[in-house]
Amino acid sequence: MACKRGALIVLEGVDKAGKTTQCQKLVQALRRKGHPAEMMRFPDRTTTIGKMISAYLENQSELSDQTVHLLFSANRWELVPLIKKKLEQGTTLVVDRYAFSGVAFTSAKPGFSLHWCKQPDVGLPKPDLVLFLQLSPAEAALRGHFGMERYEKSSFQCAVQQQFKHLMEDETVNWKVIDASMNVEDVHKDITEHSLNAINIAQNLPLGELWQ
């Protein structure tokens, strides 16, 4: 008997919303409940493309906005064969940022439309669930100072938040907004509930293609 496929679950949100914390907790909780699960993150800084992105984010290199946008997308495409293989094997993937971050961050820069920014990611494996961790810039600031990376400035993060709002108007994507201002355990409970539901539904459906 063919095994049921795993679900593709993405966590998105602005800086310090708690994405990494929640991805790790979700993977552990799913495994405890008997669901094979693994975490992935974008950018994946371990690949050759990921290293170029990392140098750019750390202000160690300069790239045009168009170039870095395409590199972020290429970094996802290079992992598509692995993503598909894991899902087919029945492993649920919990992904820390995906194409939505790609579009929100570039389209927050002057002169970039949502439409242009989406094109390189059209056709990527479509997430079964996108959890958007909602946190205001003021609440994020209470979680500590921004780091030294290129996009870690509150005015830019506000512009990014605005672009995420536009992306969430797209009803072809299964968005769930999570109140990320709650304590870690309450956020986790909410996320786990939505994820278990998505795993149940996804196992009987073919994997979709994003923005097709």
Q: How far is the CB of 57 from ligand Z5A (least distance, A)?
A: 6
Whole-number Å distance between alpha carbons of 9 and 121: 17
Q: In angstroms, what is the minimal distance from the CB of 20 to ligand Z5A?
A: 3
Rounded Cα distance, 7 and 203, in Å: 7
Give the binding site for ligand Z5A (CB under 6 A). 13, 15-21, 41-43, 57, 72, 96-97, 101-102, 105, 143-144, 151-152, 183-184, 187
Q: How distant, in Å, are the alpha carbons of 26, 56, 66, 89 from that of 93?
A: 10, 27, 28, 11
Cα R_g (the chain), whole angstroms: 17
d(CA 79, CA 70): 14
Measured from the CB atom, the residue of 3 and 82 that comes closer to ligand Z5A is 82
8-state DSSP, 119: G
In angstroms, what is the minimal distance from the CB of 66 to ligand Z5A? Answer: 13
Least separation, in Å, of the C-beta of 13 and ligand Z5A? 6
**Nearer to ligand Z5A among residue 88 and residue 152 (C-beta):** 152
Kindly tell me the number of DSSP H helices and DSSP E strands found in the chain. Answer: 9, 5
Min. distance of Cβ 177 from ligand Z5A in angstroms?
A: 15
Nearer to ligand Z5A, 5 or 130 (CB): 130
Distances (CA, A) of 161 to 33, 43, 97: 33, 19, 14
User: What three-state secondary structure class fits 176?
Assistant: strand
- Quick one: 75 or 92, whose CB is closer to ligand Z5A? 75
- Give the nearer residue to ligand Z5A in terms of CB position, either 123 or 200: 123
